[in-house]
Each structure stands twice: as C-alpha cells, then as structure tokens.
C-alpha cells in the first residue's frame, strides 16, 4: 500500500471518530503536497474542507490552498470569508497568489478578495495578473532581494529578511543607486565570504542572462536548460529588475509542454488527466475523432472509387493498409525530430534544408528496404492464399507493392518534415503534424499513390 493510501485511511477513520485533535497531529507531520493528495481522495466536499481547516500553521495552509485542484479551490474560496482567504494569499509567493486568483475564474469573488489584501500585496498581484500567462511576466514572482551598488556587504547581510521571501533565495541582485538599472548578482555564499566593508557594486557579477517581461516562457525554459540555471532575473524595458523566475516553475512548464505535445500527437486538445471524469474525457477527445473519421471515410471513398474499375483484381484491395501504415509511421518518425527539437529551441532555421534532405533520403533508403521485403512476401504469399487461381500476376503485384511502399515512405518523410516547419512558421504547435489529422491526410495520399501506381503498372503490363 502506498504512503498516500495509508495516510488517507488513517485520516478517514479519524474523521469518522471526529477526533480533530489527532487529525491535526497527523497533518502536522505531512508536507502540503502530501495533504493535497490525501484531500483529493475524499469524495465529499465536507470532508475535504474539514481536512483543509484542520491543517494548522497559516503558511502551510496557504501552500496547501495553492496546490489544490481548481474546482476545490473555487468551492473553498466561495464558501469562506474573503478576509480569511486574503490572509492566506498574503502568505503565498506572489506568482502562486496571482495563479490562485486567476484559477478562481469568478471576477466578483476575485475583486472582493483583492479589496481585503494589504496594499502592497494587492499592487504586486494586480500587476502580475496583467501579464500574459505564457510570458516572463506571467511566470515570475516579484519578491526578490535587490540592493543599491553603494551599500557594503555588511549592510546587505544585516538587512536580509528571510520572512519576506517565500521562494528559496540564492542570489541578491545589485542595482545602480541612481538609475536603478540592473547591474548583476551575488550568490549568498560569495556574499558570506566577501570582505564586509566592500561595496556590493564591486563584487556583483554582471550577468548577460535575464528574461524580459514579454519573453515567451518556452524560450525562457530553453535558457534555463542551456545554462543550467536555478533562478533568472526579469528586467523591464527600462532595464530595471522587476522579478525573478525560479527553476521549480520551469520544471513544471517543461513537463507541461511535453505533455501538451504528447496530447496533440495522440489526438486530444489537452492532456486528459487520470482523474478527469468520463464526460470531460469525451469532450476533449471526440472532436478529434470525428475529424479523423471524416478523413478516414474520404479515404474509404477513394479506395472504393479505384476498386470499382479494378474489381477483376480484388487482391489489390488487401494492401492499402500496408502502404498507409508504412507511410504513417515514417512520417511520424520524421515529424518527431522537428516537433520536440523545435519546441526545445534546439534547431536553428539555418539547419532546415539539410534536415529536410536527410529525412527525405532516410525515407527513400528505408522505403527501398521495406518495399523489397513487402514485394518478396507478397510474391510468395499471394499465390498461396489464392491457390485456386488469382487473376493478377504475382510479379506485377510485387512491383506495384514495391513502388508504392518506396514512394509512399519517401513522400511521407518529406511531408513529415515540411508540415512541422510550416506549422511553426504559422505560429502553430508543430506537434499537430504527428496528430491524427495529418496522419489521416497521409492515409488518403498513400491510397492515391498506391492506386495510381497500380493503375499505371496494370496499363503497362496488361
């Protein structure tokens, strides 16, 4: 049994006994993320709220609140005194506080809570809420330690106040005492080791790596990974430091982006979580399936159309699935290179042409190998299946299959590279190229290729 399950069962039975004192004890030993998992296992709001209320220590309760599922956050906030909600928000890091309010999705309630916040906190949060969620401003926190360059190390060490900072601190930032321009950073460990009487402006390391308020969060995440950063300052257009982005948020963003890619590739507009309900899962999936269905039916009509004129050679009807499967997989492989590496900002535009060439060549070479294998198997297998006499010469069939597999895989590779690049240029997510829409379009194309080759070769040979 998992830890979560043990905690859940223990707290469940304590809830039945209404032993609030013991529940408080139990919760004291758990981290907020663990309490969130316990709460998510209860079905009734009453029990969920009781566990939330019995979580002592305002700071811990604030962190728990920011971790809860959106619908539970909303219910709790709607059923609580806005003053109390405001007290908890004041304990959150400003980015979590802004995210929390945004998640409530209820403008009246948000305004009500905002009025009960301390002025400074309210200003911070209102500012953060005004930024695009996907930008540097949208993912930064405004708490940071910035000091004028003319202070001494000793002054700074004496004025650091940990209680005002809700995220971990590794660096203090140094700004120009007059212009307030950002100058650089000093790690705490270097600060501790510095000469106490030295001016911080003299020991700050000038940093060329920072984010701007409107920088795309994927680009920021790529910089974190490239330079192995833990924290990054955010500067506004006047070159003043206005916040910092922390690596824990970047970790979440990176996982979310990967999940989003996978969701798109497998045909759901968002990730379907394991705890989504049935209707939610269907709502996210069905639209994509219906589009796929319409395209697949188009393919069926293409096949049907060609078969009408080729009905002497019914054996031909067995192979469209082979061409489609091979084209689909090759195209997917080619697309994947672009999807992830474009997302991770690893490919430079200068490299596009050589990559398109490599992929097309790879498709052609693999197409020759697979085409030969398929042709040989069909040449040997089809006479065995149609032992009672098959109206199509197995050698011609083998040729049709060889050329369509080979040509189909080459075309699919080319398309698999071109579509992600075009999507990217059009500002769309390249992952769409590996999704069901493009895959099924490829199926239609492969049916055309197959039957055109079949019709041509049959005209030549018969």
Contacts of 444 (CB under 8 A, 6+ apart): 295, 298, 299, 302
In terms of CB distance, is 38 or 234 closer to a copy of itself? 38
Q: Please choose, out of 11-19, 97-105, 126-134, 355-363, the segment that lies near a copy of itself by the rule CB under 8 A.
A: 355-363
Q: Rule CB under 8 A: is residue 143 a binding residue for a copy of itself?
A: no
Near a copy of itself by CB under 8 A: residue from 347, 412, 414, 454: 347
Q: Rule CB under 8 A: is residue 454 a binding residue for a copy of itself?
A: no
Give how many residues touch a copy of itself by CB under 8 A: 127
Q: Please choose, out of 75-83, 112-120, 234-242, 349-357, the segment that lies near a copy of itself by the rule CB under 8 A.
A: 349-357
DSSP annotation of 206 reads P
Helix, strand or coil, per DSSP, at residue 272: coil
Q: Given the structure tokens 């405001």, which residue do they identify?
A: 86
Q: What is the dihedral of CA 135, 141, 142, 144, to 10 degrees?
A: -130
Task: For residues 222 and 218, give the distance between their C-alpha atoms in angstroms, rounded to a whole number.
Answer: 6
One character per residue 255-274, x = contact with a copy of itself (rule: CB under 8 A) = x--xx-xxx-xxxx--xxxx
Q: Rule CB under 8 A: is residue 374 a binding residue for a copy of itself?
A: yes
In terms of CB distance, is 90 or 443 closer to a copy of itself? 443
Q: Residue 447 corresponds to which tokens in the numbers above? A: 């049916």
Q: Residue 451 corresponds to which tokens in the numbers above? A: 């039957």
Q: Residue 425 corresponds to which tokens in the numbers above? A: 């240029």
Q: Rule CB under 8 A: is residue 12 a binding residue for a copy of itself?
A: no
CB of 429 to a copy of itself, least distance (A): 14
Near a copy of itself by CB under 8 A: residue from 13, 70, 130, 251: 251
CB of 83 to a copy of itself, least distance (A): 27
DSSP annotation of 187 reads E
CB of 146 to a copy of itself, least distance (A): 15
Residue 163 CA from chain centroid, whole number: 33
4-17 b/e (C-beta count within 10 Å ≥ 16 → b): eeebbeebeebbee
H helix intervals, 320-388: 320-343, 352-385
Task: For residues 192 and 6, give the distance between their C-alpha atoms in angstroms, rounded to a whole number.
Answer: 44
CB of 319 to a copy of itself, least distance (A): 5
Q: Rule CB under 8 A: is residue 290 a binding residue for a copy of itself?
A: yes
In terms of CB distance, is 169 or 428 closer to a copy of itself? 169
In terms of CB distance, is 80 or 258 closer to a copy of itself? 258
Q: Residue 135 corresponds to which tokens in the numbers above? A: 């930008």
Number of Cβ within a 10 Å radius of residue 210 = 20
Q: Rule CB under 8 A: is residue 368 a binding residue for a copy of itself?
A: no
Site for a copy of itself in 29-48 (CB under 8 A): 29, 31, 33
Near a copy of itself by CB under 8 A: residue from 51, 324, 423, 438: 324
In terms of CB distance, is 32 or 137 closer to a copy of itself? 32
Q: What are phi and psi of 410, to 5 degrees?
A: -65, -50
Q: Please choose, out of 70-78, 105-113, 302-310, 451-459, the segment that lies near a copy of itself by the rule CB under 8 A.
A: 302-310
Q: Rule CB under 8 A: is residue 196 a binding residue for a copy of itself?
A: no
In terms of CB distance, is 20 or 280 closer to a copy of itself? 280
CB of 162 to a copy of itself, least distance (A): 5
The number of residues making up the chain comes to 462
Measured CA angle at 385 (ends 379, 388), to 5 deg: 110
Residue 240 CA from chain centroid, whole number: 30
CB 218 within 8 A of CB 142: no
CB of 45 to a copy of itself, least distance (A): 20
Q: Rule CB under 8 A: is residue 325 a binding residue for a copy of itself?
A: yes
Q: Please choose, out of 45-53, 112-120, 165-173, 450-458, the segment that lies near a copy of itself by the rule CB under 8 A.
A: 165-173
Which residues, in sequence order, are bridge partners of residue 243? 234
DSSP annotation of 204 reads P
Site for a copy of itself in 385-424 (CB under 8 A): 385-386, 405
Site for a copy of itself in 220-239 (CB under 8 A): 224-230
Q: Please choose, out of 160-168, 236-244, 419-427, 452-460, the segment that lies near a copy of itself by the rule CB under 8 A.
A: 160-168
Q: Rule CB under 8 A: is residue 430 a binding residue for a copy of itself?
A: no
Nearest-Å Rg of the Cα atoms of the chain is 31
| Dihedral sign of CA atoms 65, 68, 69, 72 in order | negative
């Amino acid at each position: 049994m998992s830890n979560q399950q043990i905690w859940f069962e223990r707290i469940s039975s304590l809830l039945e006994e209404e032993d609030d004192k013991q529940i408080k004890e139990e919760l004291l030993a758990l981290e907020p993320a663990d309490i969130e998992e316990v709460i998510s296992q209860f079905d009734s709001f009453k029990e969920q709220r009781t566990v939330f209320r019995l979580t002592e220590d305002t700071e811990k309760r604030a962190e728990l609140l920011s971790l809860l599922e959106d619908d539970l956050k909303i219910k709790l906030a709607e059923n609580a005194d806005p003053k109390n909600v405001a007290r908890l928000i004041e304990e959150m890091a400003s980015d979590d506080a802004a995210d929390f309010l945004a998640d409530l999705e209820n403008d009246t309630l948000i305004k009500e809570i905002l009025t009960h916040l301390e002025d400074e906190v309210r200003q911070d949060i209102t500012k953060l809420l005004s930024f695009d969620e996907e930008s540097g401003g949208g993912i930064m926190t405004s708490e940071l330690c910035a000091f004028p360059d003319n202070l001494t190390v000793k002054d700074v060490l004496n004025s650091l106040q940990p209680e005002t900072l809700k995220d971990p601190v590794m660096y203090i930032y140094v700004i120009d005492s007059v212009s307030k321009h950002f100058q650089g950073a000093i790690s705490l460990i270097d600060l501790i080791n510095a000469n106490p009487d030295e001016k911080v402006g003299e020991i700050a390391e000038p940093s060329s790596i920072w984010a701007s308020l409107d920088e795309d969060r994927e680009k920021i995440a790529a910089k974190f990974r490239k330079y192995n950063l833990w924290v990054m300052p955010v500067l506004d257009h006047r070159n003043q430091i206005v916040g910092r982005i922390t690596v824990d948020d970047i970790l979440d963003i990176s996982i979310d982006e990967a999940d989003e890619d996978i969701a798109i590739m497998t045909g759901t507009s968002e990730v379907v979580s394991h705890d989504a309900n049935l209707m939610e899962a269907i709502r996210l999936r069905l639209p994509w399936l219906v589009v796929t269905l319409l395209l697949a039916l188009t393919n069926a009509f293409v096949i049907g159309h060609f078969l009408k004129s080729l009905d002497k050679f019914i054996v031909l009807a067995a192979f469209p699935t082979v061409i489609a499967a091979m084209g689909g997989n090759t195209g997917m492989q080619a697309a994947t290179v672009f999807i992830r590496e474009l997302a991770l900002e690893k490919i430079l535009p200068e490299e596009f042409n050589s990559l398109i060439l490599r992929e097309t060549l790879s498709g052609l070479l693999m197409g020759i190998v697979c085409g030969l294998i398929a042709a040989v198997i069909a040449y040997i297998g089809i006479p065995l299946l149609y032992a009672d006499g098959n109206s199509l010469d197995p050698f011609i069939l083998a040729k049709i299959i060889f050329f369509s597999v080979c040509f189909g895989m080459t075309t699919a590779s080319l398309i698999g590279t071109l579509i992600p690049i075009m999507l990217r240029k059009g500002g769309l997510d390249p992952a769409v190229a590996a999704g069901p829409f493009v895959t099924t379009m490829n199926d239609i194309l492969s049916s055309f290729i197959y039957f055109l080759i079949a019709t041509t070769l049959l005209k030549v040979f018969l």
